[in-house]
Amino acid sequence: MTTRTAARKKSIAKSAKSAEPAGSVKSAPFQAPARALEWVGEVDGWVEMIDQTRLPASCEILQIRTAEEIAEAIRRLSVRGAPAIGVAAAYGVVLGARSAAGNGLGSFQRALKEAIEKLAASRPTAVNLFWALKRMEEKAKSWIAEGREAREVASLLLEEARAIHREDAALCEAIGRHGAALLRDGETVLTHCNAGALATGGLGTALAVIYRAVQDGKKIRVYADETRPLLQGARLTAWELVRAGIEVTLLCDSAAPVLLRAGRVDAVVVGADRIARNGDAANKIGTYGLAVHARGQGVPFYIAAPSTTFDLSIASGRQIPIEERRPEEVTAGFGLATAPEGVRVYNPAFDVTPAALITAFITEHGVIRPPYRRSIAAALKRR
């Protein structure tokens, strides 16, 4: 997972370098954000993805040719964000299955099963991962039941993975369109973590709302939380927005309540990794506190997410598994010791925001408002 495509790296890095932030930035006219990942070639091809662990210092492109490498990229956060993880997992199924396509149907089925199991174990919270794996597995089983040969099934799996990628891009466009209608010209949005193009197969979820509003001619300013401990807001969201030419100001997570109390924020817009059928929503750690403060100051709190992020199999957020990550992310983030050796660490990657604190969900089907037990079920009948 070390080879990179020089031409694409040079193009992205050049545009990123020309728009590096120095605080609150007013940048160039809007340009489309870089794609998080893409498939190159036909069934014998590979996945190219931006290594998000390297941003913003450098923009490196990974070439990935095995399901194991996709799973590792998900684990180490080279690719992250629920929709992008789902797309990556779909491509990972192709990479795993195609490795045995020439060895007969039995070997192909074993390779397919092994790839799905490895990918499913990569991260526990983002429901899109499991949704994409289930869709790929069910499609493969149906084609095998029809009597198709392994090589043909491998090619069909690539078509299905590409369809998942295209569909996610279309969902992002629709989310952006519906969400932009909620923002007025001149408003200021606060966001947390990264829910942009780097987190999806398209323009993003939360950031798609901002991108579309700007494309519609509205002047939108953005405050982006750093999002500790891995600084996805500082490293990724700020990078995306500066590159897109959108005014953004970076702040520590703990400064967000001060902004809200001062009346300097008109709306909070974030993404989600899993949403229960009652409207409880898991997102990056720190989201729950932001929702509490937004409610206290009367600021609308929106979650932008595709229908694939809703998990109707669980009744409430209490059933959402919360990933806990390595203590070193807190004690020695990015290689620098910031805590005494041996200290105990609590490092959940996500928290759950109760439905009562969420003003509305912005989906490809439109804006979903309370009461969520009824409105979510009604909206998702169409997916």
Phi-psi region of 234 (alpha: psi -120 to 50; beta: other; left: phi over 0): alpha
Query: How far apart (Å, rounded) are the C-alpha atoms in residues 325 and 332?
Result: 13
Query: How far apart (Å, rounded) are the C-alpha atoms in residues 14 and 311?
Result: 40
What type of residue sits at position 213? Answer: A
Q: Say how many Å lie between the first and final Cα of the chain, rounded.
A: 35
| List of residues 6+ apart from 320 with CB closer than 8 A | 125, 274, 276, 280, 282, 311, 314, 350, 352
pLDDT in the model for residue 151: 95
CA 274 centroid distance within chain? 11
Query: How far apart (Å, rounded) are the C-alpha atoms in residues 155 and 83?
Result: 23
- Token duo for residue 101: 């396509």
Give the residue from 172, 187, 222 where a domain finishes.
172
pLDDT in the model for residue 16: 37
Same domain assignment for residues 151 and 184: no
pLDDT in the model for residue 125: 87
pLDDT in the model for residue 325: 95
- Which residue, chain included where needed, has tokens 């494309």? 215
pLDDT in the model for residue 27: 45
Same domain assignment for residues 160 and 198: no
pLDDT in the model for residue 3: 39
Where do the H-state alpha helices sit in the chain?
6-17, 67-75, 82-98, 105-120, 127-145, 150-180, 206-215, 232, 238-244, 256-261, 287-296, 328-331, 372-380
Question: Which residues span the domain enclosing 111?
Answer: 33-172
Q: What is the pLDDT of the chain when averaged over all its residues?
A: 92
- Residue 273 falls in the annotated catalytic set: yes
pLDDT in the model for residue 126: 82
Same domain assignment for residues 195 and 72: no
pLDDT in the model for residue 9: 42
The total number of structural domains in the chain stands at 2
Helix (H/G/I), strand (E/B), else coil: 128: helix
Same domain assignment for residues 252 and 372: yes
Same domain assignment for residues 119 and 153: yes
Same domain assignment for residues 371 and 303: yes
Query: What global pTM score does this model have?
Result: 0.88
Same domain assignment for residues 213 and 348: yes
Low-confidence ranges of the chain (pLDDT < 50): 1-23, 25, 27
Q: Is residue 212 part of a domain?
A: yes
Give the residue from 112, 144, 172 where a domain finishes.
172
Q: Is residue 4 part of a domain?
A: no
Q: The CATH number of the domain where 134 resides is what? A: 1.20.120.420
Q: Is residue 118 part of a domain?
A: yes
Specify whether the CB–CB gap between 294 and 300 falls below 8 A. yes
Q: Is residue 350 part of a domain?
A: yes
| List of residues 6+ apart from 145 with CB closer than 8 A | none
Q: Is residue 284 part of a domain?
A: yes
Same domain assignment for residues 190 and 163: no
Q: Is residue 11 part of a domain?
A: no
Residue 60's alpha-carbon distances to 9, 53, 54, in angstroms, are 6, 9, 7
Give the residue from 143, 172, 201 where a domain finishes.
172
pLDDT in the model for residue 45: 97
pLDDT in the model for residue 5: 41
Among residues 51, 273, 280, 311, which one is catalytic? 273
Same domain assignment for residues 191 and 129: no
Q: Is residue 151 part of a domain?
A: yes
Q: The CATH number of the domain where 211 resides is what? A: 3.40.50.10470
The alpha-carbon radius of gyration of the chain (Å, integer) is: 20
Same domain assignment for residues 97 and 154: yes
